[in-house]
């Protein structure tokens, strides 16, 4: 039993418009479950995890909360590509399809080459290069080597202990400055910073409240694993917000929130 970030679900005002943005700007491809024009759509992030788009009012209803949201939502998604030129190309593609530049593409103080943009739906994305220099031309649309989600939390150390209790293994640990977890092929990386530090890194105002418009999903191997992860979350300081049960879609699923209120859905085929 080990938690992994298999699907990042974003609440958006118009699913079809958001799907069109991500397929055009990020060259993402629809998953078999995607239904154009419906209230949900699934996208594959070039083998580095999956993105699900859900109508925000419906997502809030499913999460048992009010859909109102304003300001910084407390999380930043990141697409990591190979070279600086790919960061520039990805930023150009995103802005050409309606994103706004928060931080232009440039080399940061500690040598990282990155940019930050906000999608038409208000999601903040950090685009970063794994290498500091370019080698050769960019071959077609940039494809990520990794997709990450960074959460702004009260204490990365406290959150680390929670996620370790659910089976996640720490990769880089800089105490209450920055912590992230190891990933397996085909899933997204999870990282932790304080809300203030995350907002500063992204170049946005840390103020914001209301619905985060975010749900994280782990696909478990069995019903027993679903039950075990929910129990572990409750024991480690989280809160089980939905007991595991069979859904209308034929899944066996339950929900919990971590100590900072971030929402997780644990599911398996019933």
The tally of domains found in the chain comes to 1
| 218 within domain boundaries | yes
Q: How confident is the model at residue 35 (pLDDT cuts 50, 70, 90)?
A: very low
Residues of the chain with pLDDT > 90, as a percent, come to: 83
d(CA 127, CA 241): 33
Q: What is the DSSP code (8-state) at residue 5?
A: B
| 172 within domain boundaries | yes
List the CATH number of the domain containing 141. Answer: 3.10.180.10
| 235 within domain boundaries | yes
| 42 within domain boundaries | yes
| 57 within domain boundaries | yes
d(CA 207, CA 253): 33
| 2 within domain boundaries | no
| 1 within domain boundaries | no
pLDDT tens, 139-193? 688 999 999 999 999 999 999 999 999 999 999 999 999 999 999 899 999 999 9
Range of the structural domain that residue 98 is part of: 7-269
C-beta neighbour count of 246 within 10 angstroms: 11
Q: Is 230 helix (H, G, I), strand (E, B) or coil?
A: helix
pLDDT of residue 132: 85
């Amino acid at each position: 039993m080990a938690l992994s970030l298999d699907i990042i679900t974003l609440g958006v005002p118009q699913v079809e418009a958001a799907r069109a943005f991500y397929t055009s700007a990020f060259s993402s491809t629809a998953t078999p479950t995607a239904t154009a024009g419906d209230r949900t759509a699934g996208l594959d992030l070039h083998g580095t995890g999956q993105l699900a788009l859900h109508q925000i009012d419906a997502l809030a209803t499913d999460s048992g909360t009010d859909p109102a949201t304003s300001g910084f939502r407390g999380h930043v998604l990141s697409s990591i590509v190979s070279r600086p030129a790919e960061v520039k190309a990805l930023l150009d593609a995103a802005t050409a399809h309606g994103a706004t530049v928060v931080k232009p593409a440039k080399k940061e103080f500690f040598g990282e080459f990155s940019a930050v943009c906000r999608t038409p739906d208000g999601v903040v994305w950090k685009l970063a290069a794994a290498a500091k220099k370019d080698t050769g031309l960019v071959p077609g649309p940039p494809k990520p080597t990794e997709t990450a989600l960074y959460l702004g939390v009260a204490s990365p150390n406290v959150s680390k202990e929670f996620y370790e209790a659910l089976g996640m293994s720490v990769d880089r640990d800089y105490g209450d400055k920055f912590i992230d977890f190891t990933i397996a092929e085909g899933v997204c990386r999870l990282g932790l910073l304080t809300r203030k530090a995350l907002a500063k890194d992204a170049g946005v105002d840390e103020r914001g409240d209301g619905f985060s418009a975010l749900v994280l999903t782990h696909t478990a191997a069995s019903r027993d694993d679903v039950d075990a992860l929910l129990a572990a979350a409750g024991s480690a300081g989280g809160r089980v917000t939905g007991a595991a049960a069979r859904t209308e879609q034929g899944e066996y699923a339950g929900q919990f929130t971590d100590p900072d209120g971030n929402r997780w859905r644990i599911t398996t085929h019933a």
